[in-house]
């Protein structure tokens, strides 16, 4: 072998070693969590966290889902799951549709001060939530929706708007202006053009927006903690309550199972729709 | 009776004035072409007539009604776009019927009109296809069909043929001419292609920098261009321009270099002053080889174009082209005598660039 070939081979080995190391780095914690969730309490207590479960059992998954206690209630994490679903569905539908209409209006209709609105949206997209939490709470309590399902849905919709509007605007800007002109001459108005001309062209971007919002809202902890109210705590918040419960012994196996259950929906969505996700993002980025 | 009357129309983008006080009466049944180089404001004018572009001042009347403030859909117009602008997710049938359904035209009537337009444009067998499954020419037909079903008073075309290849463009040109004759509708058509304009139009408005330079029938435009710009823009191969001076004498003539050309038979529209600087415009077909010609020219090269050959000659400081019979042009070398047919020439004031 020549020196060049040697060098290439060494470089390649180094590359794979690095990739393997990075994979391990990210997957070991996950593997520990998965392994722990299938162990019995005794096993968790006596053995190292790196050992595999001796006799894998789904008992802790069942317990986490249906019987685990947070405070005095012992309904399992499924309570939070259904709360999350109830928050998620209206929030996603509202934020995506409001974002789509806003993006469409800003891209194809002459809105007074459209550039200013765009700038503001862009700014809003970069403001950390923590900064505006207090005024948001005040506003919601003035409107008497603070601590209710409507309250948390409103917050998700409003805070999702900047990113959604920008996403849709950038997509619609790429569609030919003449389509809207032709439809206007055909007699269609703002809504009809949106419904019959623009929406049918928006399937990819709608999927992208839905994925972004679904994972974002599902994984949200802070807003759910503050705005959802006691009866609507989302799964993430309940998971935290479950794992920080200080009474009795800490059931690591149940906690890890609950954590995995909570992380499952966004993971499933990524796996099922990754293809559309990439396609939609590039479709929006390049052109219609 | 005028189908469209534009009066005193102005429009600016910021400090750029794209339309300056445009007035344009368009006769019913006319095929009016707005012709000009890109950026002359022709598309803006068309969009203004359509109502897709806000205007600053002026009035637009369609069929005797002031429509200046009306929505595009309420003006009685139909439009064909350069990019066709077919609705990508709808079938051809839906594309054609969308406007009618929006206007709640009865189902049977919609079907009848779609069938009629499809038959007229020979796209009946394409009705259930999506635009993406059509060729450029077919898309163009669908776009025209979408306008036809509207029963509009005025049809607006925005460079409809410029996305087609040369052969298809010629075919569609004939098709459009046939449609216009068959239906007798009023058409306003924007193009930068002067051949398209000459072949299709009953009247041409030549535009430059937001102003209509000349509005006339194609023949008049070609034979008696009103400005130097029109003379240069219309006609291919282009008109020859010779810089000279009005000569002093009992007969009106032009001195170009050291040659004096008599202007026998030229119909002046104004009286030029002696010594006035002028530009003599002469089309290649009005430059002829003749042994008793006035101008001495050195053969440069020949451009055979099939039916005739374009000969290029160096005459003093000017390069002059002449449309020659191919047989006569063959083997032509050295120096020749040329004569210019003054009765067909165009004379322009060098300063104002207007016809004299």
Instruction: State pLDDT tens for residues B9-23.
Output: 999 988 889 999 999
Look at residue A281 in the predicted model and tell me its pLDDT.
55
Closest CA to A86 of A210, A217, A211: A217
Identify the band that residue B334 occupies on the pLDDT scale cut at 50, 70 and 90: confident
Instruction: State pLDDT tens for residues A11-67.
Output: 899 999 999 999 999 999 989 999 999 988 888 888 787 888 888 888 889 988 988
Instruction: State pLDDT tens for residues B242-301.
Output: 998 888 776 778 888 888 888 878 888 888 888 889 999 999 999 998 888 888 889 998
Strand order in the sheet with B335-340: B287-289, B335-340, B295-304, B309-315, B318-324
The burial of B4, by beta-carbon neighbours within 10 Å (0-12 exposed, 13-18 middle, 19 or more buried), is given as buried
3-state secondary structure (DSSP) of residue B41: coil
Q: Which residues of B touch A188 (CB under 8 A)?
A: 73, 98-99, 102
- pLDDT over 90, % of chain B: 62
Please give the mean pLDDT across all residues of chain B: 90
The whole-number average pLDDT for the span B304-321 is: 90
Look at residue B356 in the predicted model and tell me its pLDDT.
86
The answer for residues whose C-beta is within 8 angstroms of residue B194's C-beta and 6 or more apart is B35, B233, B234, B235, B236
Closest CA to B287 of B209, B347, B342: B342
Chain B interface residues (partner A, CB cutoff 8 A) = 47, 50, 52, 71-73, 77-79, 81-83, 85-90, 98-99, 102-103, 146, 150
Token pair of A183 as six digits: 């439809």
Look at residue B101 in the predicted model and tell me its pLDDT.
92
Helix or strand run (H / E) with residue B212: strand B211-216
Residues A163-173: b if buried by 16+ CB within 10 A, e if exposed: bbbbbbbebbe
Identify the band that residue B348 occupies on the pLDDT scale cut at 50, 70 and 90: very high
Q: What's the per-residue H, E or C state across B326-348?
A: HHHHCCCCCEEEEEECHHHCEEE
Identify the band that residue A284 occupies on the pLDDT scale cut at 50, 70 and 90: very low
Round the CA-based radius of gyration of chain A to a whole number and report it.
24
Look at residue A41 in the predicted model and tell me its pLDDT.
82
Helix or strand run (H / E) with residue B324: strand B318-324
Please tell me which of the candidates A182, A188, A200 has its beta carbon nearest to residue B85. Answer: A182
Look at residue A59 in the predicted model and tell me its pLDDT.
87
In the predicted model, is pLDDT for residue B326 greater than 60?
yes
Contact B120, B139 (CB under 8 A): no
In the predicted model, is pLDDT for residue B325 greater than 80?
yes
Place of tokens 């939070």: A80
Helix or strand run (H / E) with residue B213: strand B211-216
Cα separation, B132 vs B91, whole angstroms: 9
Give A269→chain B minimum CA distance, Å: 27
In the predicted model, is pLDDT for residue A285 greater than 80?
no
In the predicted model, is pLDDT for residue B315 greater than 50?
yes
Which of the two residues, A50 and B208, has the higher pLDDT score?
B208
Alpha helices in chain B (DSSP H): 42-50, 92-102, 107-120, 136-148, 166-183, 194-200, 218-223, 228-233, 326-329
Q: Which residues of A touch B102 (CB under 8 A)?
A: 186-188, 192
The number of beta carbons lying within 10 Å of the beta carbon of residue B30 is: 20
Cite the beta strand spans of B124-169 per DSSP E: 154-158
Token pair of A217 as six digits: 């809202």
Instruction: State pLDDT tens for residues B123-179.
Output: 999 999 999 899 888 999 999 999 999 888 899 999 999 888 888 889 889 989 999
In the predicted model, is pLDDT for residue A1 greater than 70?
no
């Amino acid at each position: 072998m020549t020196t060049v070939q040697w060098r290439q081979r060494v470089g390649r080995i180094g590359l794979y070693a690095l990739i393997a190391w990075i994979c391990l780095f990210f997957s070991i914690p996950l593997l520990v969590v998965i392994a722990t969730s299938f162990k019995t309490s005794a096993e968790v207590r006596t053995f190292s966290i790196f050992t595999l479960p001796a006799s894998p059992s789904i008992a802790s998954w069942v317990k986490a889902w249906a019987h685990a206690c947070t405070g005095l209630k012992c309904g399992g994490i499924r309570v939070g799951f259904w709360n999350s679903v109830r928050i998620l569905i209206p929030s996603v539908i509202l934020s995506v549709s409001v974002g789509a209409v806003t993006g469409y209006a800003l891209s194809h209709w002459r809105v007074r001060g459209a550039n200013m609105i765009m700038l503001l949206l862009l700014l809003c997209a970069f403001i950390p939530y923590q900064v505006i939490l207090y005024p948001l709470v005040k506003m919601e309590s003035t409107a008497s929706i603070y601590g209710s399902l409507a309250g948390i849905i409103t917050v998700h919709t409003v805070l999702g708007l900047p990113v959604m509007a920008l996403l849709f605007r950038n997509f619609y800007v790429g569609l030919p202006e003449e389509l809207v002109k032709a439809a206007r001459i055909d007699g269609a108005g703002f809504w009809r053009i949106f419904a019959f001309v623009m929406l049918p062209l928006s399937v990819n971007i709608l999927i992208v927006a839905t994925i972004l919002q679904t994972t974002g809202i599902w994984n949200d902890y802070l807003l759910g903690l503050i705005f959802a109210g006691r009866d609507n705590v989302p799964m993430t918040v309940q998971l935290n309550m479950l794992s920080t419960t200080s009474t009795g012994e800490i059931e690591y196996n149940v906690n890890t199972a609950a954590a995995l259950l909570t992380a499952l929906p966004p993971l499933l969505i990524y796996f099922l729709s990754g293809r559309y996700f990439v396609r939609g993002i590039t479709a929006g980025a390049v052109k219609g | 009776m005028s189908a469209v009357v534009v009066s005193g129309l102005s429009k600016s983008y910021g400090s750029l004035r794209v339309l300056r006080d445009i007035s344009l009466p368009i006769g019913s049944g006319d095929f009016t072409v707005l012709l000009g180089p890109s950026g002359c404001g022709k598309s803006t004018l068309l969009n203004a007539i359509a109502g897709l572009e806000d205007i600053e001042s002026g009035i637009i009347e369609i069929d005797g009604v002031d429509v200046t403030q009306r929505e595009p859909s309420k003006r009685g117009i139909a439009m064909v776009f350069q990019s066709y602008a077919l609705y990508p997710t709808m079938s051809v049938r839906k594309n054609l019927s969308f406007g009618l359904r929006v206007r709640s035209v009865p189902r049977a009537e919609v079907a009848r009109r779609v069938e009629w337009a499809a038959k007229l444009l020979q796209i009946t067998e394409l009705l259930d296809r999506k635009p993406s499954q059509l060729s450029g020419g077919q898309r163009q037909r669908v776009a025209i069909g979408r306008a036809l079903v509207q029963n509009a008073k005025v049809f607006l075309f925005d460079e409809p043929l410029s996305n087609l290849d040369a052969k298809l463009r010629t075919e569609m040109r004939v098709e459009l001419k046939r449609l216009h004759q068959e239906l007798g509708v009023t058409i306003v058509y924007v193009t930068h292609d002067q051949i398209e304009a000459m072949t299709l139009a009953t009247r041409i408005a030549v535009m430059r920098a937001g102003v209509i330079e000349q509005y006339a029938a194609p023949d008049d435009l070609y034979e008696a261009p009103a400005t130097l710009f029109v003379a240069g823009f219309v006609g291919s191969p282009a008109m020859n321009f010779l810089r000279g001076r009005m000569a002093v004498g009992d007969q009106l003539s032009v001195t170009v270099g050291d040659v004096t050309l008599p202007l026998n038979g030229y119909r002046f529209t104004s009286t030029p002053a002696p010594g006035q600087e002028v530009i003599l415009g002469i089309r290649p077909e009005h430059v002829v080889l003749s042994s008793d010609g006035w101008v001495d020219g050195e053969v440069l090269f020949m451009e055979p174009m099939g039916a005739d050959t374009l000969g290029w000659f160096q005459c003093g400081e000017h390069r002059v082209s002449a449309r020659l019979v191919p047989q006569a042009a063959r083997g032509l070398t050295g120096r020749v005598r040329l004569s210019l047919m003054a009765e067909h020439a165009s004379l322009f004031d060098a300063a104002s660039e207007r016809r004299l």
